Structure 1
Amino acid sequence: MTDSQPLAEQQPHRRTIKSFVMRAGRITEGQQRAIEQGWPRFGLELQAGMQDFDQVFGRQAPRTFEIGFGMGHSTLEMAAAAPEQDFIGVEVHKPGVGALLNGLLSQDLSNLRIYSCDALDVLRQCVADASLDRVLLFFPDPWHKARHHKRRIVQAGFAELVRQKLKIGGVLHMATDWEPYAEHMLEVMQAAPGYRNLAADGRWVERPSERPITKFERRGERLGHGVWDLKFARID
């Protein structure tokens, strides 16, 4: 949180911006079993406060922080494809946490840790400034209705919080399949101090090879839907 643009609304009666939207979802027996078996190994708690991730992972390595990994398919694929990198994934929904833990146990990966709470709280309370190489925000809720736009996670305060946590040269990578939200992201990030747009045309980048294509995205492509990727590097 910054003095100039807090993420939470100043007035106590106003809604606090969160990194997640509550969804209904029943956890399966397999997902619950994976939580019971995998959380002691891969889980991290917000209450533990500021973390030394070199100690957590037992090494120094490029570090990626993902906000809202859903069911964890892309997160697992990225971690498996880059064993030389470390990943911190945050997701509030238990079925997704269980699914990702199940994948981690099945593939015996060691380069990923999980929080199950609000990712913005994790950034504020658990992540040291200038310690992340990448922050990922893939397909956040676009809050389509105009009266709900204030609930969108990508706001000036979010940009500043992420900038604080990125190393100089570190990258915020966002993706959305909703063009009006892509335009909103671009507008916010172009106004945010301390960033440079990595797109050659000053707008979007081509889909980076390191971002896995989801089943949802493939279905959207067949229906003619677009996906917009934005990459902004911290320069200050």
Structure 2
Amino acid sequence: MTEHPEQPLPAQRSDPSTFRDKPVSFVRRSRMTPSQERAWAEHETKYVIDVPRGPAATSVADDARLDPTEIFGREAPLIVEVGSGQGHAILHASATRPEINFLAVEVFRAGLARTIIRAEQGGLTNLRLAEVNAPELLEKGLSAGSVDELWVFFPDPWAKARHQKRRLVDADFAAIAARALRPGGVLRLATDWEDYAVQMREVMDAAPGFTREFTGDWADRFDGRIITAFETKGANKGRAIRDLGYRRD
């Protein structure tokens, strides 16, 4: 599957000053299967929310304002998953917790298309998707205090030292998460990469506005997260699965 750094939208390529000044935590992948293309064409408007864009393809406009009540057609607690991949965790959660609104944020369209296929098969009505850079959506698109839980499960570890500046969970992300979460809301993290787990813990322990939801070195496994093939693969390689949880003060 082809990978390439994200580029500005065509109409704005001539103005580099409008492009991001901080590396994002992903490179975009292209190409979908015919079934994914078909699902996207048929059901995009049903599941994928229309987010006002900034200069980059997955960026969020500074004046974007999204109302979860309008998006879901009801008032309910909101859980947002950052980097939902193919949707395994959030699809299971949506199916088992119909009283909750779920928003999957992902930049890889193929993963979102697979999520759409399974959402249609399950008849899910409490799930929406956003094809944008998650920190920008949390910082600009959603109102402060509008999120009840924020999930970051198995983000790209960017294992090489020279790439670790791309890691999602840093002090800037902690501040964005603090803004998005309501008081009492929870940030849940999981990774199978030990040094990233340690970094996450150091970042969040130092982050203003958060309190640990666990004692000792690591949180117990979050029972709302199903065990995916990705997690199983990491465990089979001998990697410890690390969970963390932090409550917004």
Which among 171, 178, 190 is matched to residue 156 of structure 1?
A: 171
Which amino acid is the alignment partner of residue 99 of structure 1? R
Q: 1:27 to 1:59 in 2, by over 3 A?
A: same
**Contact preservation (8 Å) 2:26, 2:166:** no
* Corresponding residue for residue 44 of structure 1: 49
* Corresponding residue for residue 80 of structure 1: 95
Deviation at 1:99, TM superposition (A): 0.2
Distance in 2, matches of 1:13 and 1:131, equals: 27
Distance in 1, matches of 2:165 and 2:23, equals: 8
Distance in 1, matches of 2:247 and 2:98, equals: 23
Which among 203, 220, 225 is matched to residue 239 of structure 2?
A: 225
* Corresponding residue for residue 215 of structure 2: 200
Deviation at 1:12, TM superposition (A): 9.3
Name whichever of 14-23 and 150-159 sits farther off.
14-23
Which amino acid is the alignment partner of residue 216 of structure 1? F
Name whichever of 80-89 and 47-56 sits farther off.
47-56
**Contact preservation (8 Å) 2:49, 2:71:** no
Deviation at 1:124, TM superposition (A): 2.1
Distance in 1, matches of 2:180 and 2:237, equals: 37
Distance in 1, matches of 2:86 and 2:20, equals: 30
Which among 146, 154, 171 is matched to residue 186 of structure 2?
A: 171
Name whichever of 41-50 and 92-101 sits farther off.
41-50
Q: 1:139 to 1:58 in 2, by over 3 A?
A: same
Query: Deviation digits for residues 125-149 of structure 1, max 9, x if unmatched?
Result: 2100011001111111111122222
Q: What SS does the aligned partner of 1:74 have?
A: helix
Q: What SS does the aligned partner of 1:59 have?
A: coil
* Corresponding residue for residue 26 of structure 1: 31
How many residues are treated as equivalent by the alignment?
223
**Contact preservation (8 Å) 1:46, 1:115:** yes
* Corresponding residue for residue 142 of structure 2: 127
TM (normalized to structure 2)? 0.84
Distance in 1, matches of 2:132 and 2:178, equals: 21
How high is the sequence identity, in percent, across the aligned residues?
Answer: 39
Deviation at 1:16, TM superposition (A): 1.6
Which amino acid is the alignment partner of residue 210 of structure 2? Y
Q: What SS does the aligned partner of 1:95 have?
A: helix
**Contact preservation (8 Å) 1:19, 1:119:** no
**Contact preservation (8 Å) 1:17, 1:153:** no
Deviation at 1:14, TM superposition (A): 8.7
Distance in 2, matches of 1:143 and 1:223, equals: 18
Higher RCO, 1 vs 2 (CA within 8 Å, ≥6 residues apart): 1
Deviation at 1:224, TM superposition (A): 2.6
TM (normalized to structure 1)? 0.89
Query: Deviation digits for residues 105-139 of structure 1, max 9, x if unmatched?
Result: 11110101111121122112210001100111111
Which among 15, 33, 40 is matched to residue 35 of structure 1?
A: 40
* Corresponding residue for residue 61 of structure 2: none
Which among 13, 16, 22 is matched to residue 16 of structure 1?
A: 22
Distance in 2, matches of 1:209 and 1:78, equals: 11
Which among 120, 140, 162 is matched to residue 147 of structure 1?
A: 162
Distance in 1, matches of 2:238 and 2:139, equals: 38
Deviation at 1:33, TM superposition (A): 1.0
Distance in 2, matches of 1:130 and 1:123, equals: 10
Deviation at 1:45, TM superposition (A): 2.0
